[in-house]
Amino acid sequence: MAESYRVVATAKSGCSSSVPSLPPPCPKSPPEYPDLYGKRREMAKVQMLEREIGFLEEELKSVDSLQPASRCCKEVTEFVVANPDPLMPTNRKNRRSCRFWKWLCGIPCFNFSWICCCCYSGCSLRIHLPRCCDCNCNCDPCDLCNCCSCIRCPAPNWRCCSCRSCCPFPCSCSCCCPCSCSCPCSCSCPRSSCCRNISCCSDCCTCGFPSCPDCSCCRCSFPECSCCTWLCCCPRWTFSAPKCPKSPKCPEVRLCSNCTKTCCNPCCLFF
Amino acid sequence: MSVAELKARHVAATETVNSLRERLQQKRLLLLDTDVVAVAGYAKAHGKSSVSFGATDLVCCRTLQGHTGKVYSLDWTPEKNRIVSASQDGRLIVWNALTSQKTHAIKLPCAWVMTCAFSPTGQFVACGGLDSVCSIFNLNSPSDKDGNLPESKMLSGHKGYVSSCQYVPDEDTHLITSSGDHTCVLWDITTGLRTSVFGGEFQSGHTADVLSVSINGSNSRMFVSGSCDSTARLWDTRVASRAVRTFHGHEGDVNTVKFFPDGNRFGTGSDDGTCRLFDIRTGHQLQEYYQQHSDDEVRHVTSIAFSISGRLLFAGYSNGDCYVWDTLLAQCIAGKIWPLFLKGNGKCTHMPFWLF
């Protein structure tokens, strides 16, 4: 390039020396580099297919020595018949005679659990007594579970109850019933369950566990709140919408005609 | 070799693979020496009578209320006295299955959870989802100052979402995950590292998202996986480079796989609306479970479970229905038993309770 300029300058200055005129400069086209990345990937695919061919040929050779399907079916049938299944219905005769015991032993506050234990061992009736193992008690399964000898409950401030479980303080327990929160506050929640915190009704939305399937007991400023989120009654996702993870890869997209979210298309799965 | 030559080799290899698969299928058909409906044909021929449920034989005995979003997954402890459930509300809840009490409510770092599992000892729970990480929580560890249970381990390495996870039986230190990155991974939880990767870009394995895993209860070295590539594959954890066997037949994504109680068969559920029973030693498809509906709508099978004997197959569908199949006679013996009970993907699992 510099030489060309020098030649042109010399010509313009009126120098009479004869200099061959060079063609105007033109940039060269870039060299054609081989698409190495594409070739490597193509080679990898071919190698995988050739491996697959090898596996299929091996399988073809071995398939002749496989046992026929009828033998597999026989094995399945024999296994099923040989193993008792508690979910299989009993025959009608047994059902009638055990119906009374089913009813009796099913009463939550039935105190003669030893009868059920006897039924349990001797009768064809399938009665399952809950074991006193919720709070690591060493109880005879035929006793009414009294967990007052419990050593350990799931959380430090929980205590043993006579109803075979531990309840979070200060909820009280009644015999044979699951924990019901007898709260000092007047409870207006129609269907509250036990809360981790002090009361079960004063502010359902701040309970450790969601306790209000409907928001009727929560003072919610939004007219259309759905079930309580962990924070408070609010339209869904206002406070609890998670951030999209990095580099989201969408799982298989299902029917999501109303889906408007673009991040990961998670709504296609979750809405 | 030039790219053009490689492409030609690719086309030729694909044709060879398809041709070999066709031949294999033909040979397998010759081995189906029973009636077309296999197990059902055999069972009927040997006088097995059908199962019928009375009105009080399958009744709901517990309703576990507490989640505020769809429940996507649940798992039992081996003792069958506790359940862990994972929900779109971003929580794992651990339940006492006998009393319905909640013992733990674990707030997750990522709310988009798709799977959860109990460890064999019941001390740990694992979960995973769209964050591509499998998180482990120790249920006995103390909560942090905010009252949340901290993660005891994060298993990172998947390049796609974690769709399913299961602990290796009798080992709290190993679990297997399936992922949207087309692989399954066996993890060493102690080190947080991958022990083996099954499938993947340059290995022989699934060619689409893997949606489900099930480990053989009789031989924990074997597990099956189900994938969006319409196949299920059997793996040996000692050989990660290739699947032991690939099971074709489904015409849609295989959403769920579960080993049959005897450990030699497994069931699958798919977007094609069918459940199928396969034999792992021979690769035979032994039975198909499908019910045509009057509206012709195909209901995707989202989850399955076998009863203890294997006689009953519970299948959850995308419309929220749950059907009970007689596995021997391939008859639907109870349908729509819990249409409103099951949320989300309609997962129903084997229940240890005797219902009365």
ipTM of model: 0.85
**Which tops the pLDDT comparison, B216 or A59?**
B216
Q: How confident is the model at residue A23, as a pLDDT?
A: 77
Residue range B138-160: mean pLDDT, rounded: 91
Can you tell me the distance from the alpha carbon of B124 to that of B189, in angstroms, rounded to the nearest whole number? Answer: 11
State pLDDT tens for residues A134-181: 333 433 333 333 444 333 444 444 444 444 444 444 444 433 233 444
Cβ–Cβ under 8 Å, residues B176 and B155: no
State pLDDT tens for residues B287-345: 999 988 777 677 899 999 999 999 999 999 988 888 999 999 988 887 765 432 322 23
User: Within an 8 Å CB–CB cutoff, is residue B310 touching chain A?
Assistant: yes
- In this structure, what token pair is assigned to residue A2? 């510099």
Q: How confident is the model at residue A235, as a pLDDT?
A: 36
Q: How confident is the model at residue B232, as a pLDDT?
A: 97
Cβ–Cβ under 8 Å, residues B102 and B82: no
Residue with tokens 């119906």: A99
Question: Across chain A, what does the average pLDDT equal?
Answer: 51
- Judged on CB neighbours under 10 Å (0-12, 13-18, 19+), B250 is buried
For residue A104, the tally of other CB atoms under 10 A from its CB is 14
Cβ–Cβ under 8 Å, residues B243 and B267: no
Whole-number Cα distances in Å, A267 to A166, A270, B92, B183, B317: 38, 5, 20, 24, 19
Highest mean pLDDT (candidates A18-27, A101-110, A177-186, B269-278): B269-278
Predicted confidence (pLDDT) at residue A128 exceeds the cutoff of 50: no
Task: Flag the least confident range among B54-68, B216-230, B274-288.
Answer: B54-68
Could you tell me the pLDDT band of residue A99, with boundaries at 50, 70 and 90?
low
Cα dihedral A252→A258→A259→A260 (10° resolution): 160
Helices of type H across A29-180: 36-63, 69-82, 92-106, 113-122
- For an interface test with A, give the residue of B6, B14, B298, B325 to mutate (most A CBs within 10 A): B6
Residues of B in contact with A88 (CB under 8 A): 51, 307, 309, 311-312
Give the B window 48-107 contacts with A, CB below 8 Å: 48, 51-54, 57-58, 65-70, 81, 88-91, 93, 96, 98-105, 107
State pLDDT tens for residues A31-68: 656 666 678 878 888 888 888 899 889 888 888 888 88
Task: Flag the least confident range among A78-82, A156-160, A209-213, B213-217.
Answer: A209-213
Helices of type H across chain B: 3-31, 39-45
Predicted confidence (pLDDT) at residue B273 exceeds the cutoff of 90: yes
Predicted confidence (pLDDT) at residue A70 exceeds the cutoff of 60: yes
Residue range B45-72: mean pLDDT, rounded: 80
Question: Across chain B, what does the average pLDDT equal?
Answer: 87
Residue range A214-242: mean pLDDT, rounded: 36
Could you tell me the pLDDT band of residue B228, with boundaries at 50, 70 and 90?
very high
Q: How confident is the model at residue B156, as a pLDDT?
A: 96
Predicted confidence (pLDDT) at residue B75 exceeds the cutoff of 60: yes
Closest CA to A264 of B91, B116, B114: B114
Residues of A in contact with B100 (CB under 8 A): 178
Cβ–Cβ under 8 Å, residues B306 and B31: no
**Which tops the pLDDT comparison, B71 or B292?**
B71
Q: How confident is the model at residue B27, as a pLDDT?
A: 85
Q: Is B57 left (phi over 0), alpha (psi -120 to 50) or beta?
A: alpha
Whole-number Cα distances in Å, B246 to A247, B243, B282: 31, 7, 11
- For an interface test with A, give the residue of B15, B88, B101 to mutate (most A CBs within 10 A): B101
The secondary element (H helix, E strand) that includes residue A270 is helix A266-270
**Which tops the pLDDT comparison, A177 or B173?**
B173
- For an interface test with B, give the residue of A76, A137, A176 to mutate (most B CBs within 10 A): A76
Residue range A62-87: mean pLDDT, rounded: 88
**Which tops the pLDDT comparison, B39 or B193?**
B193
State pLDDT tens for residues B106-135: 999 888 999 999 999 999 999 999 999 999
Cβ–Cβ under 8 Å, residues B99 and B120: no
Closest CA to A127 of A151, A107, A156: A107
- DSSP state for residue A148 in the 8-state scheme: G
Whole-number Cα distances in Å, B309 to A1, B48, B61, B79: 88, 15, 21, 17
Which of B17, B20, B277 has its CB closest to that of A60?
A: B20
The secondary element (H helix, E strand) that includes residue A267 is helix A266-270
Contact B328 A76 (CB under 8 A): yes
Residue range B71-76: mean pLDDT, rounded: 92
Say what percent of chain B tops pLDDT 70.
91
Contact B103 A154 (CB under 8 A): yes
What are the residues whose beta carbons fall under 8 Å from the beta carbon of B45, sequence distance 6 or more?
B35
Helix (H, G, I), strand (E, B) or coil at A33: coil
The secondary element (H helix, E strand) that includes residue B96 is strand B91-96
What pTM was computed for the model? 0.64
Closest CA to A56 of B50, B192, B14: B14
**Which tops the pLDDT comparison, B36 or B310?**
B310
Could you tell me the pLDDT band of residue B88, with boundaries at 50, 70 and 90?
confident
Residue type present at position B33? D
Helix (H, G, I), strand (E, B) or coil at A36: helix
Residue range B130-143: mean pLDDT, rounded: 94
Q: How confident is the model at residue A104, as a pLDDT?
A: 55
Can you tell me the distance from the alpha carbon of B304 to that of A13, in angstroms, rounded to the nearest whole number? Answer: 94
**Which tops the pLDDT comparison, A92 or B342?**
A92
Predicted confidence (pLDDT) at residue B229 exceeds the cutoff of 90: yes
Can you tell me the distance from the alpha carbon of B94 to that of B103, in angstroms, rounded to the nearest whole number? Answer: 6
- In this structure, what token pair is assigned to residue B162? 């974690």
For residue A253, the tally of other CB atoms under 10 A from its CB is 10
Q: How confident is the model at residue B291, as a pLDDT?
A: 84
Residue range A237-266: mean pLDDT, rounded: 40
Whole-number Cα distances in Å, B293 to B109, B116, B270, B273, B297: 41, 32, 16, 10, 7
**Residue A39 CB-half CA count within 13 A:** 9
Q: How confident is the model at residue B324, as a pLDDT?
A: 92
Q: How confident is the model at residue A84, as a pLDDT?
A: 86
Q: Is B320 left (phi over 0), alpha (psi -120 to 50) or beta?
A: left
Say what percent of chain B tops pLDDT 90.
61
Q: How confident is the model at residue B193, as a pLDDT?
A: 96
Cβ–Cβ under 8 Å, residues B259 and B276: no
